[in-house]
């Protein structure tokens, strides 16, 4: 996903039965959230490290599509900068399954900056994120209160799925990245109303 297609507030993603719109962030909202965290980092030196950790969490949520519980288990040893990949354990399976997700350049920059700044050993088996699920929920709720739009961890996963589809990532690849056991679950991200689909027909040979 090197060239990112932007999308605005009018775009909706709905299930096949058109019952519930799936929530995802617009580009403007992503920019607002990033600015909110960066402002927190700079306005309070005493708590800047606290917010820096959440900045990395924000980037990881945005660019992996991982479930929050999966992301909170990530260790530095799971991140392979030399091959631009990150390993993530898929939790919603009966057996232990690890999937590999390409490391987006934006996330790679954030990871490298974090590792250097906090003197983290790349082969460490300690968790990257020491916060609890409940702590993450509270942090996002504070951000939501200040910014005025709905923010929760799973919304980042949907945003990743929409971005991938709009940048022509094949459904089978997205299924692997998201850790879905069935491609039918992944296919919900193709149902974007209001999208001009004529380009796909024009490209068919």
- Which pairs from 195-198 meet CB under 8 Å and 24+ separation? 195/11, 195/166
| % pLDDT > 90, the chain | 69
- Per-residue pLDDT at 8 exceeds 80: no
Distances (CA, A) of 155 to 57, 62, 109, 173, 198: 14, 9, 23, 20, 28
Mean pLDDT of 28-43: 96
Show Cβ contacts of residue 152 under 8 Å, excluding neighbours closer than 6 positions.
137, 140, 144
**CATH (one of 3.90.25.10, 1.10.1200.10, 1.10.287.310, 1.10.443.10) for 22-199:** 1.10.443.10
Domain ranges of the chain: 22-199
pLDDT in tens, 141-194: 999 999 999 999 999 999 999 999 888 899 999 999 999 989 998 988 887 644
DSSP characters for 96-151? -EEEEEE--HHHHHHHHHHHHHTT--TT--S-S----HHHHHHHHHHHHHHH-S--
pLDDT in tens, 63-77: 999 999 999 999 999
pLDDT, residue 114, reads 94
- Residue 17 pLDDT level (bands cut at 50, 70, 90): very low
Please give the model's pTM, rounded to 2 decimal places.
0.84
What's the mean pLDDT when you consider all of the chain?
86
């Amino acid at each position: 996903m090197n060239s990112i297609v932007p999308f605005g507030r009018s775009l909706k993603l709905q299930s096949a039965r058109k019952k519930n719109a799936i929530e995802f962030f617009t580009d403007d909202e992503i920019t607002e959230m990033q600015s909110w965290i960066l402002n927190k980092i700079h306005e309070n030196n005493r708590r800047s490290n606290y917010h820096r950790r959440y900045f990395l969490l924000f980037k990881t949520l945005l660019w992996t599509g991982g479930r929050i519980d999966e992301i909170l288990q990530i260790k530095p040893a799971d991140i392979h900068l030399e091959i631009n990949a990150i390993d993530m354990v898929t939790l919603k399976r009966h057996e232990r399954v690890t999937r590999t997700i390409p490391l987006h350049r934006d996330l790679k920059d954030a990871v490298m900056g974090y590792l250097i700044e906090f003197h983290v050993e790349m082969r460490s088996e300690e968790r990257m994120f020491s916060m609890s699920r409940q702590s993450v929920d509270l942090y996002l709720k504070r951000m939501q209160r200040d910014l005025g739009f709905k923010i929760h961890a799973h919304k980042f996963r949907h945003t990743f799925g929409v971005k991938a589809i709009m940048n022509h990532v094949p459904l089978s690849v997205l299924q692997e990245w998201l850790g879905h056991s069935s491609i039918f679950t992944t296919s919900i991200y193709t149902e974007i109303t209001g999208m001009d689909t004529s380009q796909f027909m024009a490209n068919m040979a």
